[in-house]
Amino acid sequence: MPHIREFVWPDYDRVAALWTAAGRDVLTRAELTAKLTRDPQLFLVAEVDRTLVGVVLGTYDGRRGMILRLAVDPAYRRRGLARLLVAALEERLAALGCPRVNLLVLPQDTGALRFWRALGYLPQPDVLCTKPLGVTRPSAAASDTMLP
């Protein structure tokens, strides 16, 4: 029987290894530290016989919840662990008063789309826009010279 609980820092190396095994990018300790200052109760791990086998990371901004990443060890897939993790996260989001949960799925990831649709998540026609920050921007004076 899987046990789902909140992430604690001694889990970090096992979570990082799980993300790697599942083909996901690994969040650094600094990234997680910043995330955990907001809503640590939305970072959950699943264990089977004390082996960390799944993880889900969510966040809530006071208006919408987001599922940022879900991963299950490839050796433990098809056992309902992802569904359990998502259900536990949804319960915590609901307890915070969250009215809606969003997530991103790449269109070519048909398996993920089937999984999320089976849980009631519906694709939306929204367009994802993204902008990396930290890039040097032209100064106001320089940008004025570029205007017609």
12 pLDDT higher than 60: yes
Query: Which H or E element spans position 95?
Result: helix 81-95
Return the SS3 of 3: strand
The confidence score (pLDDT) of residue 144 equals 45
Total domain count for the chain?
Answer: 1
Residue 142 binned pLDDT confidence (cut-offs 50, 70, 90): very low
If you average pLDDT over residues 59-84, what whole number do you get?
93
**β-bridge pairing 65-72 and 3-6:** unpaired
The three-state DSSP-derived secondary structure of 68-89 is EEEEECHHHCCCCHHHHHHHHH
Q: What CATH code is carried by the domain that includes residue 98?
A: 3.40.630.30
If you average pLDDT over residues 68-79, what whole number do you get?
92
Provide the residue range defining the domain that includes 37.
3-145
- Cα separation, 148 vs 140, in Å, equals 15
Tokens for 96?
């915070």
Block residue for tokens 């960390």: 52
CB count within 10 Å of CB 18 equals: 23
- CA nearest 72: which of 60, 86, 59? 86
If you average pLDDT over residues 43-61, what whole number do you get?
96
**β-bridge pairing 43-48 and 3-6:** antiparallel
Looking at every residue in the chain, the average pLDDT score rounds to 88
Question: Taking a C-beta distance cutoff of 8 angstroms, is the pair 8, 41 a contact?
Answer: no
- Cα separation, 48 vs 72, in Å, equals 12
Question: Taking a C-beta distance cutoff of 8 angstroms, is the pair 102, 65 a contact?
Answer: yes
If you average pLDDT over residues 31-43, what whole number do you get?
93
What is the percent of the chain where pLDDT is above 70?
Answer: 91
- Cα separation, 57 vs 18, in Å, equals 13
